[in-house]
Amino acid sequence: MFWKLRYVALILILGIPQPASSFNVDVENPMIFSGSQEDMFGYTVKQFENEERKWLLIGSPWEGQSKNRTGDVYKCPVLKTRNPECVKLNLAEFLTVPNITEVKENMTLGMSLASNPKAGFLTCGPLYSYKCGGLYYVAGACLNVSATFKVVNTIAPTVQGNAGQTSKIENTPSVINLLSSN
Ligand SMILES: *[C@@H]1O[C@H](CO)[C@@H](O)[C@H](O)[C@H]1NC(C)=O
Ligand SMILES: *[C@@H]1O[C@H](CO)[C@@H](O)[C@H](O)[C@H]1NC(C)=O
Ligand SMILES: *[C@@H]1O[C@H](CO)[C@@H](O)[C@H](O)[C@H]1NC(C)=O
Ligand SMILES: *[C@@H]1O[C@H](CO)[C@@H](O)[C@H](O)[C@H]1NC(C)=O
């Protein structure tokens, strides 16, 4: 079903942040963050703030086409300019679970984004998979990223056993539930 979702390019309209307020809609002076429609840039958007400044985190779950489509997340500074430049965080390589045959291609990293109340944020690739006994298991996995954009750890509660074992995944939906609860 996901594959059939229509993608609408991101045209985000945000106000210039005032010192005391957060994000306002301002149709007079919009800030526009643009990216590749093919990569589904803008599929997810999250406001984020660290000691440095205010940011927008923007998911691009099909980033990496055509060779290695893994997905990624961009950080976009909220500046008083019209077209602030976004920087790709290159998170896909850091999402990793030891001792399994990972399949990161098409994992759609950045498809969900959630602020972490303890600072930082979580982003997930619901279609992260691994190969085991000739079968593919779609497990989904998330990355815990610190407020300074450093990867803290990978969270993959539904990955079970090591490569070579054939244990079944019984609760695949839990990752998705975790994400949609935000
Ligand atoms: C695809 O990219 C991921 C993340 O950078 C990397 O871990 C993986 O090895 C790459 N796969 C291929 C087939 O190049
Ligand atoms: C991964 O496998 C290696 C060698 O088989 C082992 O030493 C290591 O403890 C394993 N790591 C985890 C996290 O299971
Ligand atoms: C990823 O998706 C593309 C396009 O649907 C497909 O051709 C490719 O085989 C997929 N890769 C994996 C590892 O599933
Ligand atoms: C994410 O990392 C923070 C440290 O930055 C830690 O406090 C928190 O427990 C981690 N969350 C998970 C779910 O691993």
Each residue's pLDDT, cut to its tens digit, for the chain (182 residues) gives 344 333 333 334 344 344 444 556 667 777 888 899 999 999 999 999 999 999 999 999 999 998 899 999 999 999 877 788 999 999 999 999 999 999 999 999 999 999 876 689 999 999 999 998 889 999 999 999 999 999 999 999 988 754 433 333 333 333 443 444 43
Alpha-carbon distances of 98 from 102, 139, 153, rounded to whole Å: 9, 14, 12
Q: Relative to the alpha carbon of 92, which ligand is closest?
A: 1
Region class of 147: left (phi > 0), else alpha (psi between -120 and 50), else beta: alpha
Fold designation for 2-180: Methylamine Dehydrogenase; Chain H (2.130.10)
From the list 94, 92, 93, the residue with the least C-alpha distance to 152 is: 94
Q: Give the mutation target among 99, 100, 130, 153 for probing the ligand 2 site: most ligand atoms within 8 A of CB.
A: 99
- What is the structure's pLDDT at 158? 87
Nearest residue (by CA) to ligand 2, atom 2, is 99
Instruction: Kindly give the distance from the C-alpha atom of residue 145 to the centroid of ligand 1, in angstroms, as a whole number.
Output: 19
Residue nearest to atom 5 of ligand 4 (CA): 146
- Whole-Å CA distances, 176 to 6, 8, 29: 20, 22, 36
Ligand 4 centre and the CA of 178: distance in Å?
15
The whole-model pTM stands at 0.77
C-alpha pair distances (Å), 161 with each of 132, 143, 157, 166? 10, 20, 11, 8
In short, whether 90's Cβ falls inside 6 Å of ligand 1 is: no
